[in-house]
Amino acid sequence: MNTEQVITMLRKNGHKVTPQRIAICEAVLSNKEHPTAEIIFKKISKQHPTISMTTVYHTLDLLKKLELVHEINFDNRVTRYDSNVSVHVNVICQKCGKISDYESEAIQSQWNRIVSAIKIKPVGQRLDAYVICEDCKG
Amino acid sequence: MNTEQVITMLRKNGHKVTPQRIAICEAVLSNKEHPTAEIIFKKISKQHPTISMTTVYHTLDLLKKLELVHEINFDNRVTRYDSNVSVHVNVICQKCGKISDYESEAIQSQWNRIVSAIKIKPVGQRLDAYVICEDCKG
DNA sequence: CTCCGTGCAAATGGTTTGCATCTTA
DNA sequence: TAAGATGCAAACCATTTGCACGGAG
């Protein structure tokens, strides 16, 4: 999803296009590491020194409604935003919290078998695998 | 997991056995609906009128460390506790928030294929499927 | 010109922490 | 009796809300 597509998407749904919104959209859609609102805020602050957390939260809510991002909580308290809305596995280290995404045809088809076994048609999904990563095993 | 097993588990790990702990353990381990700390607190309050949220939180943290429950956030803000630590799918309605568990040989084996495809040995997992349930479709 | 978006400041509320008292072992 | 558990009250802090100003359409 590039900048023009985001702008089109916003206009199509009757939302205004502001510099802040463009910056937030670009920041979250390009970051594959499940950033928090604060991480996005800090990234954008360099270009938009007057931006506020309020606007970041409002815009992320908007993107959530437009189905461009998913909201997920890996650890407590802080919400993370995932711009990968396709079927994938989040591999999360229990010690250091590092997150890696795995996405493949195989994962997709195994998941399809699971949902058809349950007889549902999900509108979304979340697959987490908790591990102790190599760095933390020592 | 019954009461005696919980008591044994606590003692084995050097923790004291108190009436409050027994009540909290029984409440969370018998409730399959992913209760919040407050739900557990209210359930126990009838038998233990002086119990506090502080104790509930402390005990749930303890059970988490002993791997008897998993901590999960389906919606924002409030943490839920899942006493089902086996491989299963949480089917969650996006509208009303109702949660159903699905567990089967098939799900277990498809998940095994996914983790072996990624070449990891997870210490735990979480599988969510988001749906709009029949009641909310109308 | 109108409506929506922005951002400051204040409120919210689930969870955590400090600490004095009580209980288990 | 010592180490740990309980529970009140206060602190915490990510997120939400109220509101006045500003910019997009």
Tokens of A34: 């499940």
- The answer to whether residues A108 and A66 belong to one domain is no
Chain D nucleotides near the protein (CB, 7 A):
4-9, 13-18, 23-25
Determine the length of chain B.
Answer: 138
A77 interaction partners in chain B (CB closer than 8 Å)? none
Q: Nearest nucleotide to B71 by CA–C1' distance?
A: C15
Residue A96 at interface with chain B, using a CB cutoff of 8 Å = no
Residue A119 at interface with chain B, using a CB cutoff of 8 Å = no
Q: Determine the Cα–Cα distance for residues B55 and B43; give it in Å rounded to an integer.
A: 14
Of A110, A115, A124, the CB nearest to B113: A110
Residue B137 at interface with chain A, using a CB cutoff of 8 Å = no
Residue A103 at interface with chain B, using a CB cutoff of 8 Å = no
**CATH code at B115?**
3.30.1490.190
How many inter-chain contacts (A to B, CB under 8 Å) are there?
A: 94
Contact B25, B59 (CB under 8 A): yes
Q: Determine the Cα–Cα distance for residues B109 and A103; give it in Å rounded to an integer.
A: 19
Supply the range of the domain harboring residue B59.
3-72
Question: How many helical (H) and strand (E) elements, i.e. helices and strands, does chain B have?
Answer: 6, 5
Chain C nucleotides near the protein (CB, 7 A):
4-9, 13-18, 23-25
Quote the pLDDT of residue A129: 95
Q: Which of A23, A43, A72 is the last residue of a domain?
A: A72
Quote the pLDDT of residue B77: 82
Quote the pLDDT of residue B25: 97
- The answer to whether residues A90 and A65 belong to one domain is no
Q: How many angstroms away from the CA of A5 is the closest CA of chain B?
A: 26
Contact B51, B40 (CB under 8 A): no
- The answer to whether residues A10 and A64 belong to one domain is yes
Burial of A49 (0-12, 13-18, 19+ CB in 10 A): exposed
pLDDT tens-digit profile of A63-102?
999 999 999 987 778 999 999 989 999 999 887 778 899 9
Dihedral sign for Cα A114, A118, A121, A127, please. Answer: negative
- The answer to whether residues B57 and B17 belong to one domain is yes
pLDDT tens-digit profile of A17-48?
999 999 999 999 999 999 999 999 999 999 99
pLDDT tens-digit profile of B96-122?
778 899 999 999 999 999 999 999 999
Q: Which of B19, B49, B72 is the last residue of a domain?
A: B72
* Confidence bin at A13 (pLDDT 50/70/90): very high
Determine the length of chain A.
Answer: 138
Q: Determine the Cα–Cα distance for residues B119 and A85; give it in Å rounded to an integer.
A: 23
Question: How many helical (H) and strand (E) elements, i.e. helices and strands, does chain A have?
Answer: 6, 5
**φ, ψ for residue B124, nearest 5 deg:** -175, 175
Tokens of B3: 């009461």
Contact B104, A117 (CB under 8 A): yes
Q: Which of A50, A72, A94 is the last residue of a domain?
A: A72
Quote the pLDDT of residue B109: 96
Could you tell me which chain B residue has the CA closest to the CA of A115? B129
Reduced to 3 states (helix: H, G, I; strand: E, B; else coil), residue B36 is strand
B122: left (phi over 0), alpha (psi -120 to 50) or beta: beta
Residue at the smallest CA–C1' distance to nucleotide C3: A16
pLDDT tens-digit profile of B13-62?
999 999 999 999 999 999 999 999 999 999 999 999 999 999 999 999 99
Q: Determine the Cα–Cα distance for residues B18 and B62; give it in Å rounded to an integer.
A: 13
Burial of A40 (0-12, 13-18, 19+ CB in 10 A): buried
Please give the tally of structural domains in chain B: 2
Q: Determine the Cα–Cα distance for residues A21 and A1; give it in Å rounded to an integer.
A: 14
* Confidence bin at A135 (pLDDT 50/70/90): confident
Residue B89 at interface with chain A, using a CB cutoff of 8 Å = yes
Dihedral sign for Cα A19, A25, A28, A31, please. Answer: negative
CA atoms within 13 A on the CB side of B81: 28
Query: Which residues is B81 bridged to in the sheet?
Result: B71
Quote the pLDDT of residue B15: 97
Quote the pLDDT of residue B58: 98
- The answer to whether residues A48 and A94 belong to one domain is no
Of B102, B117, B132, the CB nearest to A123: B132
